[in-house]
Amino acid sequence: MLPTRPSADARKLIALRRSISKRSLTEPGPDKQTLDELLTVATRVPDHRRLAPWRFLVFEGDARDAFNQRAVEIQKQEDPAATETMLADTASYFTRSPVVVAVISSPDPTHKTPVWEQELSCGALCQNLLLAANASGWAACWLSEWIAFSPGINTLLGLTEHERIAAYIYLGTAKDTPLERMRPDPATKIQRWQA
Ligand SMILES: Cc1cc2nc3c(=O)[nH]c(=O)nc-3n(C[C@H](O)[C@H](O)[C@H](O)COP(=O)(O)O)c2cc1C
């Protein structure tokens, strides 16, 4: 292995990475083999004590609408105040893109490695997936929405007690070009510590 891999292209990719709007995704999305390769690349993250405290659940084809329908039922049960508009929105969630990947944070709370570190590794994996997708020509977007915080959805997806949805990564082809958005002024975020 090499200690570094200087690449102006890679640097530019990171400097200019942009999410796609959830309304701007369309077909095609990555096929099974392409997606499996992307997910494999994404797992190449820092991971204290090699716990691999994450896993993926992929939604493609008809499974997306099946999820949407079940999610609407769960929303009705969990949020009696949900309006028709909110329910209609949910009914379209996973069919907004050809592929949705749920990234599940799966820490071992009994392990010596703090859960926080295990969760950070999962966050790094999500970002890796966005970068790997963009580098492969796929538009991508990391969304949570209420389905990332719902006990009913967690049960539907088979999450265990300590697992949480870290992200739903929507993958596909961009219908249009995103605009740049405001970015924080580095001067407000970078300080140099002195004793
Ligand atoms: C953990 C997490 C959850 C997010 N959930 C949502 C969401 O539910 N809805 C949304 O519009 N953006 C959400 N975002 C923000 C978008 O993924 C994206 O970062 C944002 O639109 C800014 O675009 P950029 O990634 O190109 O900077 C989330 C980001 C993170 C890190």
Tell me what pLDDT residue 71 has: 99
Residue 100's pLDDT band (cuts 50, 70, 90) = very high
For ligand 1, say whether the CB of 146 is within 6 Å of any of its atoms.
no
Residue 2's pLDDT band (cuts 50, 70, 90) = very high
- Name all domains of the chain by residue range, CATH numbers in brackets: 29-172 (3.40.109.10)
What percent of the residues of the chain are helix, what percent strand, and what percent coil, each to the nearest 5? 40, 15, 40
Q: Using the atom order of ligand 1, give the atom closest to the CA of residue 17.
A: 26
Q: What is the pTM of this model?
A: 0.97
Q: By three-state DSSP, how is residue 103 classified?
A: strand
Best residue among 17, 94, 141 to mutate for probing ligand 1, ranked by most atoms within 8 Å of CB: 141
- pLDDT tens-digit map of 109-164: 999 999 999 999 999 999 999 999 999 999 999 999 999 999 999 999 999 999 99
Two tokens, residue 144: 């949570």
Q: Using the atom order of ligand 1, give the atom closest to the CA of residue 19.
A: 26
- pLDDT tens-digit map of 45-57: 999 999 999 999 9
Residue 188's pLDDT band (cuts 50, 70, 90) = very high
Tell me what pLDDT residue 67 has: 99
Query: Is-contact 137 99, C-beta < 8 A?
Result: no
